Structure formats: C-alpha cells, structure tokens
C-alpha cells in the first residue's frame, strides 16, 4: 500500500496519532495540532497531485499564504516526525524526505510576572466558596511547581505525597517528583479535605481538580480560571516559576528537571529573561545607572 492512497493515508495517520497518545503520552491539544498539520499536508498533496516527499512546494505554498514563521516551523516538525515514524516504526519503504531548514524567527521572551506582583495577586484570591478554594489551589500549584496545564488536569489524589511533594506525569510519560510551597500545600489540603467532596460523583475517579459537573477539569477551564484571576495565561505562570527560581540562584539543570524539559536549550531561554531583568534592576537601583 502506498501513501498516495487516500484511505491508507487516513489509516496510517490515525495509527500515528494513537502512538503519540498511548506511547508518547502527548496531550490532547498536541495530538490535535499534529492531526491538523499532517492532514492539511496530505490535502494539499492530493489536490495538487504532488508526491508526499515534495515538502518544499508545500512550504512555499504556506509562505505565499502569509502563514507565520512559527506556524510553518511547527508544520515542518509535525510532518517530518510523522514520516520518520512511518519509516522507523512501520518499516514503510518510503523515499527520504529532503530535510527542510526551519525558518529563522525572532525569539520572543516569555511574559514574566514579578514576584511581588504574583504574590499580591495570589494573596487577594478569596477562599470562602467551593470555586474560590479550587481556583486558588490550582493557581498556587501552577506557581509552586511549574506544571503544564495538561499535567495539572491529570493529577490524581494518589499523586500527593506526605513529604509535601507531588508526582507528575509529564510528556513522554516521564514521571517527576516536585516539591510544593507551604501555601500551595495548605490550600490544596483545604480543597481536598473540605471542598472537593461537593463536586464528586460517579465521573470523578481520583482526579484532584473537578469541574462543577464532577468530571476532570478541562484545560480550557484552567485557562479561563487563570485569565480571570490573574489576567494572564497558565504558561506565563510556568515561565514566571522558572525565572524566579533562576533569579533566586537555582542551577539551570535543576530548573530543567523541574520543568520536565528533555533538551536543556529549551530551558536556556529563561537565563536570557533573568539577565534582562537583572540589567533593568541594575539601571533602576544603581546611583549612576
């Protein structure tokens, strides 16, 4: 069976996405991005009678249609990884795809909240109702341990340890044990002991954070909570967590482990943020700055 057969394309794409979910442990959003990137590539090929390995024409097509460089680079990675899997895992006898260089993009520094600002925001979140306690526990955990949203939604009651740490299942099903701050641990215990039971039903399983219908809280709901409570996005809290650790003297390798980054260069961006903030503080505070 060849990859120019549409029914076989659909079959092999679905197998690959199942591999990403069950073996690699990728989040639903990541898998959806892969699906979109790969399916649109094959749609383009089928409409233009192009060969699957002629990716350069597709990149030119994207550029002509004003796709952002970051989007084009993501699509290149998605498509390349898919064909690499086809060759290595499925042993398909396919022609090598020419390696495409990613497009150069301006590195955008992540949005970082100052320690005084985020602490002030956290301290002003009320904690008298079920939702308020849940929301504060969610945000405290995000800032305390630097979790990804997908990691937070999948937390189970069994993942909380007596030594004030939390077990996290990250990308690629890699487990890491992360500490929690005193405040995060206190608010989480308050949620688990006094409030979570109000949402529990037959759909809850052992998930820590639940929606009002008792099911595991969704990633979209987490994003809504963080936006409404802090005026920012969950990933900004993760950036803030990493930067504050480095500002406090933490080793880059330690921060890499806590974030669950496989490649140290992914963590390296936070050193640039810290240096930028250090320079700004220096200019503000030095008498001759």
282 counts as catalytic: no
Which pLDDT does position 286 carry in this prediction?
Answer: 47
User: What tokens were used for 191?
Assistant: 């949620």
171 counts as catalytic: yes
Which pLDDT does position 6 carry in this prediction?
Answer: 81
Which pLDDT does position 289 carry in this prediction?
Answer: 46
244 counts as catalytic: no
Q: Could you tell me which CATH class the domain 6-88 is placed in?
A: mainly alpha
261 counts as catalytic: yes
Residues of the chain with CATH 1.10.443.10: 115-285
Residues near 89 by Cβ (< 8 Å), separated by ≥ 6? 19
- Which residue among 69, 87, 176, 235 is the active-site one? 235
Give the residue among 112, 119, 115, 79 at the shortest CA–CA distance from 97.
79
Distances (CA, A) of 253 to 112, 236, 267, 274: 20, 20, 9, 15
Which residues, given as ranges, of the chain have pLDDT below 70? 1-4, 52-53, 94-103, 105-110, 268-289
| Cα R_g (the chain), whole angstroms | 22
Which pLDDT does position 166 carry in this prediction?
Answer: 94
pTM for this predicted structure: 0.65
Give the residue among 143, 146, 111 at the shortest CA–CA distance from 273.
111
Residues of the chain with CATH 1.10.150: 6-88
238 counts as catalytic: yes
Chosen CATH of 115-285 out of 3.90.550.10, 1.10.443.10, 3.40.50.300, 3.40.50.11540 = 1.10.443.10
- Which residue among 171, 176, 183, 215 is the active-site one? 171
User: What tokens were used for 163?
Assistant: 């030594």
Which pLDDT does position 97 carry in this prediction?
Answer: 60
Q: Is the dihedral of CA 258, 262, 264, 267 positive or negative?
A: negative
148 counts as catalytic: yes
């Amino acid at each position: 069976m060849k990859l120019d057969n549409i029914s076989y394309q659909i079959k092999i794409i679905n197998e690959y996405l199942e591999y990403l979910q069950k073996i690699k442990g990728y989040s639903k959003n990541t898998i959806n991005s892969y699906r979109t990137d790969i399916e649109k590539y094959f749609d383009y090929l089928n409409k233009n009678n192009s060969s699957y390995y002629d990716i350069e024409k597709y990149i030119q097509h994207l550029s002509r249609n004003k796709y952002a460089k970051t989007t084009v680079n993501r699509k290149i990675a998605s498509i390349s990884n898919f064909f690499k899997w086809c060759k290595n895992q499925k042993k398909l006898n396919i022609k090598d795809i020419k390696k495409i260089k990613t497009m150069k993009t301006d590195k955008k520094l992540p949005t970082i909240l100052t320690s005084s600002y985020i602490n002030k925001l956290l301290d002003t979140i009320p904690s008298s109702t079920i939702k308020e306690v849940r929301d504060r526990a969610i945000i405290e955990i995000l800032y305390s341990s630097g979790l990804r949203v997908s990691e937070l939604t999948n937390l189970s009651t069994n993942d909380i340890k007596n030594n004030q740490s939390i077990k996290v299942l990250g990308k690629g099903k890699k487990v890491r044990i992360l500490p929690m701050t005193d405040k995060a641990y206190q608010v989480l215990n308050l949620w688990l002991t006094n409030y979570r039971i109000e949402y529990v039903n037959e759909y809850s399983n052992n998930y820590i954070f639940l929606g009002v219908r008792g099911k595991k809280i969704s990633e979209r709901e987490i994003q809504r909570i963080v936006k409404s409570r802090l005026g920012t996005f969950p990933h900004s809290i993760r950036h803030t967590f990493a930067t504050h650790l480095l500002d406090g003297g933490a080793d880059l390798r330690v921060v890499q482990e806590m974030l669950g980054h496989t490649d140290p260069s992914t963590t390296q961006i936070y050193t640039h943020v810290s240096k930028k903030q250090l320079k700004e503080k220096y200019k503000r505070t030095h008498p001759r700055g």
